[in-house]
C-alpha cells in the first residue's frame, strides 16, 4: 500500500504537471495583473507595495477609454477589417486547400514552397512599395487599405493548414458525391467542408488574431482617427508628458476579450485542427 501511494503521488507530482503549472502561472499572472490594474484608480496604480486586488474597484478607466480616447471607433474599425479579411481568407483558402490537397496538379510542390516562403516574408520589407501602391489607388485611410494586405499575408498560412487537414479526409466520401452527380463546388460545400470544420476554425482563429493585433501596416496605411485600429489607437493614448496606464490597461482588456471568446468556444476544433496538421501531409 505504501508503494502504491508513493507511486500515485509520483504520478501527480511529476515533471509534466510541474511544467504545465509553471506555464499557466507564466501566462495567467500577467493577464490577472492586467485585468486587476484596469479596475484600479490612478492613485492606486502607483501604490508601493502594489495592490494585488483593486480596492476600491473603479470603472473610470473603461469610461475614459471610450469617451475621451474614442476607443469605440478603434474597436469598430478592427472588427470590420478583421471579420472581412478572415472571411476572405477562409473562402479562398478553403478552395485553394482543396485543390492542392485533393486534385491532381502540376507544380504543386513548387507552389507549396512558394506559399511557405510568402508566409514567413517580413512585412517591413514590402511596407514601402505597398504604401506607394495604395496611395496611387487612393486607398489610404480606408478599410480596403488593410483588408487586402491582411488577406494576402494570412492566406498562405491558411492554405497550408487547410490543405494538410483535407489530406486526412477519406477519398471515398468525395467519390460518393461524384457518383451522385455533385460538381466540385457542391462537393466542397456539402461533403468536404463539414468534415474540414476543425481546420477551418483553426485557420480562422489564427487569421483573426493576426489581423486583430497587427500594428505596422495599420500604423502606416491608416493615419486618420476614423480608420485607426486598436493597436495603433492604444499606442496613441496619452500625451508627451502623461501616460494613462489605467486607461491603456482597460482598453487592452477589452481588446483581448474577442480573442478569448473565440478560443474558448472553438478550443476543441483548434486542438483537432492543429493535431491533424501536425501528422498529415
Measured CA angle at 148 (ends 157, 88), to 5 deg: 60
Grid coordinates belonging to 244: 494613462
Taking only the tens of pLDDT, the chain with its 281 residues reads: 455 545 555 555 565 677 777 888 888 888 888 898 899 887 787 766 677 788 788 888 999 999 889 899 999 999 999 999 999 999 999 988 888 888 777 888 888 888 888 878 888 889 999 999 999 999 999 999 999 999 999 999 899 888 888 887 777 777 777 777 777 777 778 878 888 888 888 899 999 999 999 999 999 999 899 999 999 999 999 877 888 888 999 999 999 999 888 888 877 766 665 565 444 44
With a CB cutoff of 8 Å and minimum separation 6, the contacts of 196 are 94, 162, 165, 166, 169
pLDDT at 222: 94
pLDDT at 212: 95
Superfamily of the domain at 64-279: MetI-like (1.10.3720.10)
pLDDT at 135: 95
pLDDT at 131: 95
Q: Where are the domains of the chain?
A: 6-62, 64-279
Number of C-beta neighbours around residue 134 at 10 A:
22
pLDDT at 8: 55
Cα–Cα distance measured from residue 83 to residue 67, given in angstroms and rounded to the nearest whole number: 25
pLDDT at 280: 47
Average pLDDT, the chain: 84
* 216 touches 229 (CB < 8 A): no
* 251 touches 230 (CB < 8 A): yes
Amino acid at each position: 500500500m505504501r508503494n502504491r501511494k508513493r507511486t500515485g503521488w509520483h504520478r501527480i507530482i511529476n515533471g509534466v504537471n510541474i511544467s504545465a503549472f509553471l506555464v499557466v502561472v507564466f501566462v495567467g499572472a500577467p493577464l490577472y495583473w492586467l485585468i486587476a490594474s484596469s479596475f484600479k484608480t490612478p492613485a492606486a496604480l502607483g501604490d508601493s507595495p502594489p495592490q494585488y486586488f483593486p480596492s476600491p474597484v473603479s470603472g473610470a478607466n473603461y469610461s475614459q477609454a471610450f469617451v475621451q480616447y474614442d476607443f469605440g471607433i478603434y474597436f469598430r474599425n478592427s472588427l470590420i477589417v478583421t471579420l472581412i479579411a478572415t472571411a476572405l481568407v477562409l473562402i479562398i483558402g478553403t478552395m485553394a486547400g482543396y485543390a492542392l490537397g485533393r486534385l491532381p496538379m502540376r507544380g504543386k510542390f513548387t507552389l507549396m514552397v512558394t506559399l511557405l516562403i510568402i508566409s514567413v516574408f517580413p512585412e517591413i520589407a514590402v511596407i514601402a512599395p505597398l504604401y506607394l501602391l495604395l496611395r496611387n489607388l487612393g486607398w489610404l485611410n480606408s478599410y480596403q487599405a488593410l483588408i487586402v494586405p491582411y488577406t494576402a499575408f494570412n492566406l498562405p498560412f491558411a492554405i497550408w493548414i487547410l490543405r494538410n487537414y483535407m489530406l486526412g479526409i477519406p477519398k471515398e466520401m468525395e467519390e460518393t458525391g461524384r457518383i451522385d452527380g455533385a460538381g466540385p463546388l457542391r462537393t466542397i460545400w456539402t461533403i468536404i467542408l463539414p468534415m474540414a470544420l476543425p481546420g477551418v476554425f483553426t485557420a480562422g482563429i489564427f487569421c483573426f488574431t493576426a489581423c486583430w493585433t497587427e500594428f505596422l501596416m495599420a500604423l502606416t496605411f491608416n493615419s486618420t482617427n476614423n480608420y485607426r485600429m486598436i493597436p495603433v489607437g492604444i499606442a496613441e493614448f496619452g500625451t508627451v508628458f502623461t501616460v494613462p496606464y489605467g486607461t491603456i490597461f482597460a482598453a487592452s482588456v477589452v481588446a483581448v476579450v474577442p480573442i478569448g471568446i473565440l478560443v474558448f468556444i472553438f478550443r476543441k476544433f483548434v486542438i483537432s485542427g492543429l493535431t491533424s496538421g501536425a501528422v498529415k501531409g
